[in-house]
């Protein structure tokens, strides 16, 4: 059984990373990642798949995410933790102006981010709207 203090410490650790990231600290999450960090991103996303290490996450995932999501609109709706696991619910607007909901599940070990699993509510909001019919 994990203590409430341990869970709260991990919740605040992850929350602080989001706060720093939203304030413009692009290194907040990468610096907190363990050397053997793994990101398992929903395969429905263009940047989906398993990504290993902070460098791969920064160089392969983040540029594609930034091309699709208006980071300035991203908000942390809620965060909860139980032991070494924390879950965050995020809301943003896509670069096309549609709502986008995202859940991120983190595993924290020894004060480092060990694993991330990303879940999306509806990836259709990332798709370009159909072109208007010719008249």
In a domain, 59, yes or no: yes
Residue 135 lies in a domain: no
Q: Is 43 among the domain residues? A: yes
What pLDDT, on the 0 to 100 scale, is given for residue 65? 86
The answer as to whether 12 is a domain residue is yes
Give the tokens for residue 63: 């540029």
Buried b (16+ CB within 10 A) or exposed e, 31-55: ebbbeebbbebeeebebbeebebbe
- Specify the CATH number for the domain of residue 47: 3.10.450.50
| pLDDT score for 124 | 76
How many structural domains comprise the chain?
1
Q: In the prediction, which pLDDT does 119 show?
A: 92
In this structure, is residue 82 part of a structural domain? yes
Residue 45 lies inside a defined structural domain of this protein: yes
Question: What pTM was computed for the model?
Answer: 0.87
**pLDDT < 50: residue spans in the chain:** 130-131
119-131: pLDDT as tens digits: 988 877 776 554 4
Residue span of the structural domain in which 109 resides: 4-123
CA pair distance 89, 79, nearest whole angstrom:
6
Distance CA 20, CA 7 (A): 20
Q: What is the pLDDT of residues 16-35, one digit of tens each?
A: 999 999 999 989 999 999 99
Q: Which pLDDT does position 132 carry in this prediction? A: 53
Tell me if 131 is assigned to some domain.
no
């Amino acid at each position: 059984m994990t203590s409430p203090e341990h869970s709260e410490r991990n919740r605040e650790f992850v929350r602080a990373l989001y706060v720093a990231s939203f304030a413009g600290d692009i290194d907040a999450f990468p610096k907190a990642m363990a050397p053997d960090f793994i990101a398992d991103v929903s395969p429905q996303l263009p940047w989906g798949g398993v990504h290993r290490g902070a460098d791969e996450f920064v160089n392969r995932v983040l540029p594609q995410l930034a091309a699709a999501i208006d980071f300035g609109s991203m908000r942390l709706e809620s965060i909860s933790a139980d032991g070494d696991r924390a879950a965050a619910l995020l809301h943003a607007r896509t670069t096309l102006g549609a709502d986008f909901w995202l859940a991120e599940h983190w595993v924290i070990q020894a004060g480092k981010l060990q694993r991330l699993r990303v879940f999306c509510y509806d990836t259709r909001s990332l798709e370009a709207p159909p072109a208007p019919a010719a008249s």
